[in-house]
Amino acid sequence: MDKIFLVYNDTVYTYGQLLMDLNSKEAGYSYLYVKDNHPYEVFLGIIHSLLYNYPLEILDGDFSEQEISELGVDTNLLTTKVPKHERLHFQNMDEVIRRIYKKDQWMLTLYTSGTTGRPKKMGHTFDTLTRNVKVHAKFEHCIWAFAYNPTHMAGIQVFFQAFLNQNPLVYMFGKSMSNIKILMETYQITHISATATFYRNILPYLQGTTYPTMERVTFGGEKFDLLLEEKIKHAFPNSKITNVYASTEAGSLFAAKSDVFEIRPEYKQFVKITEQRELCIHRSLLGQSHSLENEWFHTGDSVETIDETHFKFQSRQSDMINVGGYKVNPIEVENLLMQVPGIIDVVVKSKKNSVTGEMLVADVIKCEELDEKELKKELKQFATTHLQAWKVPRIIKFVDELLITRTGKKVRK
Amino acid sequence: MDQLLLIINEMREEDGNAPLEMLEDSMDLRDDLVLDSLMLAELTVRIESEFNVDIFEDGIVQTVGEIIAKIEGK
């Protein structure tokens, strides 16, 4: 039977169909801008550019034309075709994949999600993008849940990991949570990589079911959550849990079994932590960017040094909130509030005011059956017992869902 | 005044304090209502979302009466 390549909404795309579409695709474009980020179109475009060895710039399909212009991209060029190449014909996917490894001029340009300002542009070679991709016969059976935006770094890495092993991808990003339970069961998913926010939101829908087929659960994009790890272990009892540190600028760099990241010996000289505890990466580990002038790239991530080769992620510096002169890490507060029974997810944000400059407010998703007034009291009391006064969110609001960025992270602004 | 009482009592309830029966113009926010700066920040945000007035915008407000005056735009 023809192997599944991608499941998206109700459509199943097989590797056979992918092969046919690659053989029949007429032209390539320098920009990949797919409305609604249809993952099949995105992946087809990436593979095509690799086969014909032309550079590709990916624009998030959620960008409006206005945003694209602001990025400095001439919208008239979006439909410009790359010069015609000799037409290739592939007999099978193994041939396709062998050809992919022969590329030499290929470059993929991505944009950061722009959570802290205008999206930045980064160019990557195949080697930096697939630095941590493992291809081996032992991965042939893997079935991947696809839980990231396909036009950003994390999604592209999952895509390569699955595609280069010819594994099926089951698309779950931005889907309704009740569908995800059905997809998990139907396709017997073995591997998933997603943000902590994604896991927190699917757990209530899994309703205590366990999924013994799951072999590996990866956390990426947000701070690891130890409490969540326990719940994940329960839902996926046979899985190994890993945590990766990756960015659009550098790709995937560090992995951790729990929340302590290891700096591998070969990266040691390319990683430094400043006195202000900011993680910096040497430019030789990064993709290419015109905006990067210094030797060291400041990640904007605050970390805690454990020893010479280990660190813990603390927060995004831009997420820190200043309450009357006291700096608060909203993630610390979120992790604490998550311990209150009945809380599904929380985002802690800043609210400007004339007394303390900023103040903490929390948007909370709770289990339906709980009383709002009682829970508010409980949350405030719990926070007051465990945190210094300025770290206690003053206003708590119950919401049905939290705003997330294009890449699936919580919006704290 | 009634709406302000509602706001203050909602805050008190969430903090686990008994509600107040009434407010008087002369009540001091810090001494009588025992509001610290974090609570005052909360109060100003709540009032702003209800009445669209930033009571601390141009300096210190000390009493309930001064808040009422701000809300009423006096």
* Domain CATH number, residue B13: 1.10.1200
Determine the average pLDDT of the residues in A310-330: 87
Calpha distance A255→A242 (Å, rounded): 7
Bridge partners, residue A316, by sequence: A301
pLDDT in tens, A133-180: 999 999 999 999 999 999 999 999 999 999 999 999 999 987 777 788
The 3-state DSSP composition of chain A as helix, strand, coil percent (nearest 5) reads 30, 30, 40
A412 pLDDT higher than 70: yes
Residue type at A46? I
Cβ separation A380–B39 shorter than 8 A: no
Greater pLDDT, A292 or A295: A295
CA distance A279 to chain B (A): 32
- β strands within A95-190, DSSP E: 108-111, 121-124, 144-146, 169-171
B66 and A CB contact within 8 Å: no
Determine the structural domain holding residue B11 and report its residue range: 2-71
Average pLDDT over residues A279-287: 88
The tens digit of pLDDT for each residue in A231-250 reads: 899 999 999 999 988 888 88
Q: What span, in angstroms and rounded, lies between the C-alpha atoms of A135 and A119? A: 31
Phi, psi of A7 (to 5 degrees): -110, 120
Tokens coding A155: 């999604």
User: Residue A193: which pLDDT band, with cuts at 50, 70 and 90?
Assistant: very high
More confident residue, A230 or A46: A46
For residue B34, the chain A residues in CB contact (below 8 A) are none
Chain B residues with CB inside 8 Å of A361's CB?
45
Q: What pLDDT is attached to residue A240? A: 94
pTM: 0.80
**Per-residue pLDDT, A115:** 54
| Buried/exposed A300-313: b ≥16 CB within 10 Å, e otherwise | ebbbeeeeeeebbb
Cβ–Cβ < 8 Å for A146, A5: no
CB contact under 8 A, B38 and A394: yes
Q: Can you read off the two tokens belonging to residue A22?
A: 């690659």
**Model pLDDT, residue A349:** 94
Q: Which stretches of A13-78 are DSSP H helices?
A: 15-24, 39-51, 65-70
Of A76-80, A94-98, A160-164, A276-280, the one with minimum mean pLDDT is A76-80
A380 interaction partners in chain B (CB closer than 8 Å): 14-16
Structural domains for chain A: 4-242 (3.40.50.12780), 320-398 (3.30.300.30)
Residues of chain B contacting A355 with CB distance shorter than 8 Å: 37, 40-41, 44, 56
In 3D space, the residue among A223, A194, A227 whose CA is nearest the CA of residue A302 turns out to be A223
pLDDT for A167: 98
pLDDT at A337: 95
Mean pLDDT of A195-214: 86
pLDDT of residue A311: 92
The reply to whether ipTM tops 0.95 is no
Residues B42, A324: C-beta atoms closer than 8 Å: no
Interface contact A397, partner B, CB < 8 A: no
Chain A residues whose beta carbon lies within 8 Å of the beta carbon of residue B40? 355
List the single best residue of B40, B42, B49, B56 to mutate versus A (max A Cβ within 10 A): B42
The overall average pLDDT reported for chain A is 89
* Mean pLDDT, residues A334-354: 93
What does the pLDDT average to over A256-271?
Answer: 89
pLDDT for A361: 95
Residue A302, token pair as written in the block: 């605050």
Which residue did the predictor score with more confidence, A11 or A318?
A11
Provide the domain count of chain B.
Answer: 1
Reported as a single tens digit per residue, the pLDDT across B32-73 is 998 888 999 999 999 999 999 999 887 778 899 999 998 988
Judged by a CB distance cut-off of 8 A, whether residue B13 touches chain A is yes
Neighbours of A395 (CB within 10 A): 20
Facing residue for A380 by CB, picked from B15, B41, B48: B15
Q: How many CB pairs under 8 A join A and B?
A: 53
Confidence (pLDDT) at A39: 97
Question: Is there a contact between B36 and A394 if contact means CB atoms under 8 Å apart?
Answer: no
Report CB contact under 8 Å: A354, B36: no
Residue A68's pLDDT band, with cuts at 50, 70 and 90, is confident
